[in-house]
C-alpha cells in the first residue's frame, strides 16, 4: 500500500465476478442489460433531433409522429433492459451471492494459519471485512448502473447525433468521455488524499481509545476533558487534514465535472455560431440543447459516487487477498500417533514482521504422561512453544513431532483431537452452559458432560444458575466469576479427553478462593496426560518432570527443580526473587 | 452491543445534532438553493437564445448567450461554495462534538464508562461522529436542492404553460405514489434489517475472536453454525425485503427517471405545437427545465438510506451526552483537616436493578495508617477503593476525607490529597518521562528521575534506547507488566499525595519483576495513609487494620493474628490462601505438596 496503485477496471471486474461465485453469469447478463439500457436511452434521446427537424424545419407531422413513436419504443426497451438488469438485486441473487461469499470467507478463516489471524488488529480487520461484505457489494449494481448511464448514454447519443451533424456529434464524443482520463489522472492524487485522511482517522481513533481506556488514570491525575492535550491536539490535527484533504481531493472532482460542463457549453456556443453562419439547422441545435442538459445530472451523480466505487474496489481487493491465504500444507498424511511424547527438534521461529526470532534452535523431548513446565520472563518464547505445538504456524527451521509423527503430516482435525488447552483468558460462547462444555465432543452423552463438569468442580454453581444447564451465558454476562468461567473451560477440556494438555497460566487472574477450586479441577484434567504448563508461580511446578527455562527465545536451562537449584543459574535467581516477594508484607515500616 | 442497556432518550430530530454549526449549514443550504435558481434561469435564457436565433437567424444572440454563461458560472460557483461550506461545517462539527463528548466523559460517573466499555465509547467518539459526515456534509446541499428545485421548477412550468406543467406533475405524482407503496413497510423493514445485521456482527465477532478456542474445541458445528444461522436469517430478511419492495421500487425508479417526463412533455408539446397552441420557444424552455423536478429528488432519495444509518449514530451520541454528570459541590471551597478516611453507613449499587455492592459499610482509616481490604471476589473491596476517587457517588451514607464529604470537595482538591495505583496499568503513547509527569506537568527532569529511582524503574528506563524519551503505551509493548506497573508507581511517587489507594497493584507481575515492584511500593507507601486491596494475604500481615468484606458487607476487621484466631471469614480465606500457595501440579497423582521454605534453600 506504499505505492499509490490503481487497480485496472478490468481487474476489479474480474474480482467482482469471482466474488459472486456461481452467480457470475447472471451478473454478467445483468450488467449487459444495464449497459444496453444506457445505450438505448442514449438512442431514445437522440430521436429528439429528427423530431425537431420534422416539426420545425420540414413541418412533416407523420415523420414527427414516427420519431415520437420510435423514441417511446426505445425508452420502453431501455426501461425493460434496466428492469431485467436490476433483477440481480431484486430477485435476491446479490443477497445470495454475498451470503455465499461470507460463508466462503468464514470457512477460509477456519482453514488459514491461525498465526495470521491471531494478532488483535488483524482480528478486528477480519471481523470488519466479514461484517461489511454485503454493505460494499450491495451498492455495486446501483453504482455500476449510474456509471454506465453517465458514460454510455452520452456516447450513444453522440454517435447518433453525428448522423445529422458530424461536428456536434464529434464535439460531444470528444468532450464527454474526457471525464474518464481526467478522472483517472486525478485518481492517484485522490487516493493519496484518501489514504492520508484514513491515516489521520486511524490516529485519532487510536487516541480516542487511549483516552477512554486511560480515563480512570487521567481523571485521577486531573488531566481529563479539555486538559487532555494530546487528544485535543489530535482532534485539531484531524480537522486541519480534513480541510486540506477536501481542498485537494474533493474539489478536483467538481473541477472535473465543470470542465466537462464548460466543454458542453462551448460546444453549444459553437453550435449557435454555426446556426448564425447558416451551416446548422436551428432545429438540430435546439434538440442538442434539450439532450445535452440531460447529461449534467448523471455526471454529477457519477462523481458523487466514485468514492463508493473506491470502497467497493478496496473491499474486493481485501476479499481476494484473504481468500488467497493458503492453509498450512499437510504432507502425505501418516498414521495417527500411538504414543504422545512430544519432540521439538532444533526449532527456530520468527513471527511475520518481527525483527528477531521468537524461538531460536529450541530442542526438547517431552515424554508421554510427563509434566513439563515452561519458565521465563514475558517475551521469552514460552507462548510461542505452545502455539507451534498447536500449529498456529510452522517453524521456519526444525521439526515438531508427536509420537514420532511430524505435525506437518497430520491433518488439522487429527492434531486438534490430540490437544486440550486451558487459556488464561477464558472464552465462553453466547450459548447454554451445556453447549459450551459439550462443544468439545458433540456426541458426548449428558452423563459424560455431567461427569466432566463434576470433575471440574462446576456442578454446584451450575445448579445454582437460573435455568441450570440451559442458562445462556450471554444472558448472565458478568454474573459468573473468573474462577467459575475458568472451571467451565476446564470441564470442556476434560470432556475432550485429549492425551496432551496445555495450561497457559490458568490461575494467574484468580483470587485465592477461586484458585483452590480451579486447582482441584486442573488436578483432574492433568491426570495421566502429557502436560505442558506455562507458570509464573514457580512453587506450582516444583514437582514437574522437567522444567525448561527460556530466555530471549533460547532454552537456557532445563532439568528438575532440585537440579536447577543446584545449578545456581537463571532458575535459581527466579526462585530466590519469588521467595523474597513471598516474605514481603506491607507494614508501617515498608518492607519487613 | 452495550448500547442496548442504556435508556433511550426521546427521539429528537436528527437535525438537532447540527446545532453547533447551524449558521454555516444554513448558509450552505441557502447557497445550494441559489445555485438551483441560477441553473433554472440559465435554462430559461438558453430557450430565449434559441428563440432569438429562430427569429433572427444569422444574428448571434449575444445577450442571452452571455446570460446563459453568467448564470451557469454563477450556479457552478454557488454550488461549489455550498459544497465547501457544508464540508467545513461538517469537519468543525466533528471536532466540536468530539470535544464535547470527551469533556462529558470526564464528568460522568466512572461506573458509566466501565459499564458501557472504553472501546464502545471510543467508537461513539470516533466512528459515530465520523459517520455524520454523509449527513452533514454531503446531504445538506442536496436536501436543500431536493426541496426547493421541484417547487421552483413547477412554478416556472406553470408560468410557461400550465398544461405541460400538469403533465409533468402527473408523472411525478404517479412515481411517488408507487414509491410510497414501496416504502410502506420501510420502518418495520429497517428495524428488522438492523436487528438481523446486528446478529451477524455479533456472530462474526464471536467467530473471529474465539478462533483459537474454536480450532481446539469446536469440530465446527457450534460456532460456525451460529455464524451461518445469523447469515441465513440475514439473507432471508434481505431477500424478503427485496422481493416485497422489488416491483414498486423498480417501477418508481423507471418513472422518476427523466425520460418518461421528457416523453410526456414531448408528446404533449408536439401535439400542442402542431395545433399551434404552443410556441416553440416556450416548449423548448419547458423541455429544458421540466425534468428538473424528478432529477433533483433522486440523489436525495438515494442518500436517504445512508442518512438512515446516520440516525443510529446520532442516537448513540445523544445517549452518551444525555448521561447525567456527577453533581458539583453544593458548598465548594472546603479543605480536609487531615488525611483520614471515613466511611459512614455507605451503601452502593452499580445499577438500579443490581444487588447492593456495598451495604451499610462503616470504618475509619486514621492518618498515616495502613488498611488492607480483603475478601472473596465480588465482596466489595474494589468497590470501596473506587468510591474514594468518586468514580461513583454513594447511594446512602457518606465518605469523608479529613472530615469533608467527597461530594463537597472540588475535584482538584480531592486529587491534591489522593493518589491511585490501579490494577491495570495504563501508559499513554507518549514518552516515559511524560507518563511519569502526568498530573504534575511542572515537575523537572531531576524530579522525574528521582521518582523513577525510588520506584526501581530508573535502571531499566536508562537501558532503553532513548531512555526517558522512549515512547510507551501500545507502541511500547516491549515493557513487561511489572515494568509498566513500576512506571505508574513512579507517577504516584512524583504526585506525592498524602493518601494512597492501591488496587491490587502487584497482580500481574512476573517473579523477577515482583521483587522490584514490592521495593517500589514500599518506597511509595512511606509515611502515607494507605488503603490497599490485596489478594495475597501474606503481604498484609502487618497492616494496621484489615477489613474483611463478604457479599458487600464489612464482615470482620482487626489485625492479622486476631482475625486468624477468630476463625471467621478471614480464617477461611487464609486457609484457602495457604492451600493455593502450596499446590503443585502433578499428573501422576503423586501429590507432593511442596512448602516453599522446605524445598528451596532460600533465606
For chain B, the structural domain boundaries read 1-161+308-325, 164-277, 341-558, 560-603
Task: Name which of B465, B164, B408 is nearest B289 in CA terms.
Answer: B164
Q: In B, which residues are within 8 Å of A214 by CB distance?
A: 426, 428
Task: Name which of A518, A329, A479, A315 is nearest A409 in CA terms.
Answer: A329
Is the pLDDT at A94 greater than 90? The verdict is no
Helices and strands, counts by H and E, chain A: 24, 10
- Sign of the CA dihedral with B533 first, then B539, B540, and B543 last: negative
Q: How many CB pairs under 8 A join A and B?
A: 485
Record: contact A527-B589, CB cut-off 8 A: yes
Determine the average pLDDT of the residues in A210-219. Answer: 83
Are domains B1-161+308-325 and B341-558 of this chain identical in fold? no
Highest mean pLDDT among A42-46, A137-141, A569-573: A42-46
Q: What ipTM was estimated for this complex? A: 0.79
- Grid coordinates of B231: 447469515
Percentage, residues of chain A above pLDDT 90: 19
- Grid coordinates of B304: 436517504
B465 reaches A (C-beta below 8 A): no
Q: How far apart are CA B221 and CA B304, in angstroms?
A: 40
The answer to whether B92 touches A239, Cβ cutoff 8 Å, is yes
Record: contact B429-A210, CB cut-off 8 A: yes
Record: contact A531-B587, CB cut-off 8 A: yes
Can you tell me which residue has the cell 445523544?
Answer: B318
* CATH code reported for the domain at B341-558: 3.40.50.300
Q: Nearest Cβ partner of B511 from A44, A64, A536? A: A536
Averaged pLDDT score across all residues of chain A:
82
Q: In A, which residues are within 8 Å of B119 by CB distance?
A: 209, 212-213
The answer to whether A119 touches A383, Cβ cutoff 8 Å, is no
Least confident interval from A112-126, A162-176, B31-45, B478-492: A112-126
Residue B421, CB-side half-sphere exposure with 13 Å CA sphere: 34
Q: What is the pLDDT of residue A261?
A: 77
Is the pLDDT at A21 greater than 80? The verdict is yes
Tell which CATH architecture fits domain B1-161+308-325.
Answer: Up-down Bundle (1.20)
Task: Name which of B50, B289, B40 is nearest A285 in CA terms.
Answer: B50
Neighbours of B491 (CB within 10 A): 29
Q: What is the pLDDT of residue A203?
A: 84
B510 reaches A (C-beta below 8 A): yes
Q: How far apart are CA A529 and CA A368, in angstroms?
A: 7
Interface test with A, best of B585, B595, B598 (most A CBs within 10 A): B585
B271 reaches A (C-beta below 8 A): no
Q: Nearest Cβ partner of A577 from B245, B420, B515? A: B515
CA distance to partner chain A, nearest, from residue B577 (Å): 5
The answer to whether B71 touches A180, Cβ cutoff 8 Å, is no
Determine the average pLDDT of the residues in A321-348. Answer: 84
Looking at per-residue pLDDT, the higher value among B169 and A473 belongs to: B169
Residues of chain B with pLDDT under 50: 1-10, 475-476, 590-603
Interface test with B, best of A511, A531, A589, A592 (most B CBs within 10 A): A511
Record: contact A206-B582, CB cut-off 8 A: no
Is the pLDDT at A34 greater than 90? The verdict is yes
Record: contact B422-A110, CB cut-off 8 A: no
B187 reaches A (C-beta below 8 A): no
Amino acid at each position: 500500500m506504499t505505492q499509490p496503485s490503481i487497480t485496472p477496471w478490468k481487474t476489479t471486474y474480474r474480482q467482482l465476478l469471482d466474488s459472486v461465485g456461481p452467480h457470475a453469469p447472471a451478473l454478467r447478463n445483468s450488467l449487459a442489460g444495464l449497459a444496453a439500457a444506457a445505450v438505448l436511452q442514449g438512442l431514445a434521446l437522440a430521436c429528439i433531433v429528427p423530431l425537431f427537424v420534422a416539426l420545425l424545419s420540414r413541418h412533416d407531422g407523420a415523420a414527427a409522429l414516427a420519431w415520437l413513436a420510435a423514441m417511446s419504443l426505445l425508452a420502453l426497451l431501455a426501461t425493460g433492459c434496466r428492469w431485467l438488469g436490476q433483477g440481480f438485486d431484486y430477485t435476491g441473487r446479490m443477497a445470495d451471492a454475498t451470503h455465499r461469499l461470507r460463508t466462503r470467507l468464514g470457512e477460509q478463516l477456519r482453514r488459514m494459519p491461525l498465526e495470521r489471524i491471531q494478532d488483535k488488529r488483524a482480528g478486528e480487520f477480519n471481523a470488519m471485512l466479514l461484517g461489511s461484505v454485503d454493505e460494499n457489494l450491495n451498492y455495486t449494481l446501483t453504482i455500476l448502473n449510474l456509471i454506465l448511464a453517465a458514460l454510455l448514454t452520452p456516447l450513444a447519443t453522440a454517435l447518433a447525433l453525428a448522423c445529422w451533424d458530424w461536428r456536434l456529434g464529434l464535439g460531444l464524443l470528444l468532450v464527454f468521455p474526457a471525464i474518464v482520463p481526467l478522472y483517472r489522472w486525478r485518481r492517484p492524487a485522490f487516493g493519496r488524499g484518501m489514504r492520508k485522511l484514513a491515516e489521520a482517522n486511524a490516529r485519532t481513533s487510536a487516541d480516542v481509545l487511549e483516552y477512554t481506556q486511560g480515563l480512570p488514570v487521567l481523571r485521577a491525575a486531573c488531566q481529563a476533558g479539555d486538559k487532555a492535550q494530546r487528544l485535543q491536539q489530535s482532534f485539531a490535527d484531524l480537522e486541519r487534514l480534513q480541510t486540506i484533504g477536501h481542498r485537494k481531493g474533493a474539489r478536483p472532482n467538481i473541477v472535473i465535472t465543470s470542465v466537462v460542463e464548460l466543454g458542453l457549453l462551448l460546444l453549444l456556443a459553437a453550435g449557435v455560431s454555426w446556426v448564425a453562419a447558416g451551416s446548422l439547422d436551428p432545429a438540430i441545435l435546439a434538440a442538442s440543447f434539450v439532450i445535452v442538459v440531460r447529461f449534467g445530472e448523471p455526471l454529477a451523480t457519477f462523481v458523487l459516487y466514485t468514492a463508493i466505487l473506491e470502497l467497493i474496489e478496496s473491499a474486493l481487493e481485501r476479499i481476494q487477498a484473504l481468500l488467497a491465504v493458503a492453509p498450512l500444507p499437510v504432507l502425505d498424511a501418516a498414521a495417527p500417533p500411538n504414543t504422545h511424547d512430544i519432540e521439538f527438534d532444533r526449532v527456530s521461529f520468527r513471527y511475520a514482521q518481527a525483527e528477531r526470532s521468537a524461538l531460536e534452535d529450541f530442542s526438547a523431548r517431552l515424554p508421554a504422561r510427563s509434566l513439563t513446565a515452561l519458565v521465563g520472563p514475558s517475551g521469552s518464547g514460552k507462548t510461542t512453544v505452545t502455539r507451534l505445538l498447536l500449529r498456529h504456524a510452522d517453524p521456519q527451521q526444525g521439526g515438531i513431532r508427536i509420537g514420532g509423527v511430524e505435525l506437518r503430516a497430520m491433518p488439522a482435525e487429527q492434531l486438534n483431537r490430540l490437544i486440550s488447552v486451558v487459556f488464561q483468558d477464558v472464552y465462553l460462547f453466547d450459548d447454554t452452559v451445556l453447549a459450551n462444555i459439550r462443544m468439545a465432543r458433540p456426541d458426548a452423552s449428558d452423563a459424560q458432560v455431567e461427569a466432566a463438569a463434576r470433575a471440574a468442580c462446576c456442578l454446584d454453581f451450575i445448579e445454582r444458575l437460573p435455568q441450570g444447564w440451559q442458562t445462556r451465558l450471554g444472558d448472565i454476562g458478568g454474573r459468573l466469576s473468573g474462577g467459575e468461567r475458568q472451571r467451565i473451560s476446564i470441564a470442556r477440556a476434560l470432556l475432550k479427553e485429549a492425551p496432551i494438555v496445555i495450561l497457559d497460566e490458568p490461575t494467574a487472574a484468580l483470587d485465592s478462593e477461586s484458585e483452590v477450586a480451579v486447582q482441584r479441577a486442573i488436578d483432574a484434567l492433568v491426570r495421566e496426560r502429557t502436560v505442558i504448563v506455562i507458570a509464573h508461580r514457580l512453587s506450582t511446578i516444583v514437582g514437574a518432570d522437567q522444567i525448561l527455562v527460556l530466555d530471549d527465545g533460547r532454552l537456557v536451562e532445563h532439568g528438575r527443580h532440585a537440579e536447577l537449584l543446584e545449578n545456581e543459574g537463571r532458575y535459581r535467581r527466579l526462585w530466590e526473587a519469588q521467595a523474597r516477594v513471598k516474605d514481603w508484607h506491607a507494614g508501617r515500616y515498608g518492607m519487613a | 452491543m452495550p448500547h442496548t442497556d442504556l435508556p433511550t432518550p426521546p427521539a429528537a430530530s436528527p437535525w438537532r445534532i447540527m446545532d453547533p454549526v447551524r449558521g454555516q449549514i444554513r448558509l450552505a443550504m441557502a447557497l445550494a438553493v441559489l445555485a438551483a435558481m441560477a441553473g433554472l434561469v440559465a435554462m430559461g435564457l438558453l430557450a430565449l437564445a434559441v428563440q432569438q436565433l429562430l427569429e433572427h437567424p444569422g444574428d448571434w444572440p449575444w445577450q442571452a448567450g452571455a446570460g446563459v454563461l453568467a448564470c451557469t458560472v454563477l450556479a457552478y460557483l454557488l454550488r461549489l461554495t455550498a459544497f465547501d461550506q457544508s464540508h467545513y461545517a461538517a469537519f468543525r462539527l466533528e471536532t466540536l462534538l468530539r470535544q464535547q463528548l470527551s469533556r462529558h466523559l470526564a464528568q460522568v460517573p466512572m461506573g458509566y464508562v466501565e459499564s458501557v466499555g472504553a472501546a464502545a465509547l471510543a467508537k461513539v467518539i470516533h466512528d459515530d461522529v465520523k459517520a455524520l459526515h454523509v449527513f452533514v456534509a454531503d446531504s445538506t446541499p442536496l436536501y436543500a436542492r431536493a426541496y426547493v428545485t421541484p417547487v421552483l421548477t413547477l412554478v416556472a412550468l406553470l408560468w410557461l404553460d400550465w398544461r405541460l406543467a400538469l403533465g409533468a406533475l402527473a408523472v411525478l405524482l404517479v412515481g411517488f405514489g408507487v414509491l410510497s407503496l414501496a416504502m410502506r413497510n420501510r420502518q418495520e423493514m429497517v428495524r428488522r434489517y438492523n436487528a438481523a445485521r446486528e446478529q451477524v456482527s455479533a456472530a462474526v465477532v464471536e467467530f473471529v475472536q474465539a478462533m483459537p478456542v474454536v480450532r481446539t474445541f469446536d469440530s465446527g458445528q457450534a460456532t460456525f453454525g451460529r455464524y451461518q444461522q445469523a447469515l441465513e436469517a440475514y439473507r432471508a430478511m434481505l431477500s424478503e425485503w427485496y422481493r416485497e419492495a422489488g416491483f414498486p421500487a423498480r417501477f418508481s425508479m423507471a418513472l422518476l427517471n427523466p425520460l418518461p417526463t421528457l416523453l410526456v412533455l414531448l408528446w404533449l408539446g408536439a401535439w400542442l405545437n402542431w395545433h399551434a397552441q404552443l410556441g416553440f420557444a416556450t416548449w423548448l424552455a419547458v423541455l429544458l427545465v421540466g425534468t428538473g423536478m424528478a432529477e433533483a429528488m433522486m440523489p436525495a432519495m438515494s442518500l436517504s438510506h445512508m442518512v438512515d444509518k446516520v440516525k443510529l449514530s446520532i442516537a448513540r451520541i445523544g445517549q452518551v451526552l444525555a448521561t447525567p454528570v456527577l453533581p458539583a459541590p453544593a458548598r465548594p471551597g472546603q479543605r480536609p483537616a487531615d488525611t483520614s478516611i471515613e466511611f459512614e453507613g455507605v451503601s452502593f449499587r452499580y445499577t438500579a436493578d443490581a444487588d447492593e455492592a456495598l451495604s451499610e459499610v462503616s470504618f475509619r482509616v486514621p492518618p498515616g495508617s495502613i488498611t488492607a481490604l480483603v475478601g472473596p471476589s465480588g465482596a466489595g473491596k474494589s468497590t470501596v477503593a473506587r468510591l474514594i476517587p468518586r468514580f461513583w457517588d454513594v447511594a446512602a451514607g457518606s465518605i469523608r476525607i479529613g472530615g469533608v464529604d467527597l461530594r463537597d470537595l472540588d475535584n482538584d482538591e480531592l486529587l491534591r490529597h489522593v493518589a491511585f495505583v490501579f490494577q491495570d496499568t495504563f501508559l499513554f503513547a507518549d514518552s516515559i518521562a511524560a507518563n511519569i509527569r502526568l498530573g504534575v506537568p511542572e515537575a523537572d527532569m531531576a524530579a522525574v528521575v528521582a521518582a523513577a529511582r525510588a520506584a526501581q524503574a530508573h535502571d531499566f528506563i536508562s537501558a532503553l534506547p532513548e531512555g526517558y524519551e522512549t515512547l510507551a503505551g501500545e507502541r511500547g509493548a516491549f515493557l513487561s507488566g511489572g515494568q509498566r506497573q513500576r512506571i505508574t508507581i513512579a507517577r504516584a511517587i512524583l504526585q506525592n499525595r498524602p493518601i494512597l489507594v492501591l488496587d491490587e497493584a502487584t497482580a500481574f507481575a512476573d517473579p523477577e519483576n515482583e521483587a522490584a515492584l514490592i521495593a517500589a511500593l514500599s518506597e511509595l507507601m512511606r509515611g502515607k495513609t494507605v488503603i490497599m486491596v490485596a489478594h495475597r494475604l501474606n503481604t498484609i500481615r502487618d497492616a494496621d487494620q484489615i477489613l474483611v468484606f463478604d457479599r458487600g458487607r464489612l464482615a470482620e476487621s482487626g489485625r492479622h493474628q486476631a482475625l486468624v484466631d477468630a476463625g471467621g471469614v478471614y480464617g477461611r480465606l487464609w486457609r484457602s490462601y495457604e492451600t493455593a500457595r502450596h499446590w503443585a501440579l502433578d499428573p501422576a497423582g503423586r501429590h507432593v505438596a511442596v512448602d516453599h521454605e522446605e524445598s528451596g534453600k532460600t533465606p
